[in-house]
Amino acid sequence: MKVVYIVSNGEGDYYSIKGIFSKRKLAELVKVASGSYNNIEVYKLDIVDQRILDGYLYWHLIMDITGKAGDIYIWDYKYEGRKNFTDSPILAVIPKEEEWKYDYIKTGRWKLYQWAKTKEEAIQIANEKRIKLIEKGEW
């Protein structure tokens, strides 16, 4: 397994990369020479989620109780705020009691995140999950 060492500084809008190195010793030298606020980040190379290799994309969509879907687009599957939901191979639903509770109460719609190969497949999977949620009285 190959790794790279990134010397970085700051965070958020003030984040910058000072250099990328194949050897930790070089990164440590640059870190010291660039100032005391620098960090060394280590990243593994060529790590790809198997689902992506299999042709899947991670979709976001909003669906109402009738099955009408909207606001459909490909979502960043590694986005920090959704990390807990990417483990599901088929579908992830943000529960009513989570951060989207206000949207659900206000609109009766769910925000859904799931793996699918196409937009149409994402809608189909969401509809199947919607039916199960309705049957269980969770919608």
State pLDDT tens for residues 71-130.
899 988 776 454 444 444 444 444 444 444 445 555 677 778 888 999 999 999 889 888
Contact 7, 30 (CB under 8 A): yes
Does residue 61 surpass a pLDDT of 80? yes
Helix (H) / strand (E) element for 121: namely: helix 119-135
Count other Cβ atoms within 10 Å, centred on residue 79. Answer: 13
Q: Which long-range contacts (CB under 8 A, 24 or more apart) does 99-106 make?
A: none
Please tell me whether residues 63 and 116 are part of one structural domain: yes
Does residue 134 surpass a pLDDT of 90? no
Write down the pLDDT at residue 105: 52
Q: Which domain holds residue 9?
A: 3-44
- Residue 27 binned pLDDT confidence (cut-offs 50, 70, 90): very high
Please tell me whether residues 61 and 39 are part of one structural domain: no
Please tell me whether residues 97 and 112 are part of one structural domain: yes
Please tell me whether residues 117 and 65 are part of one structural domain: yes
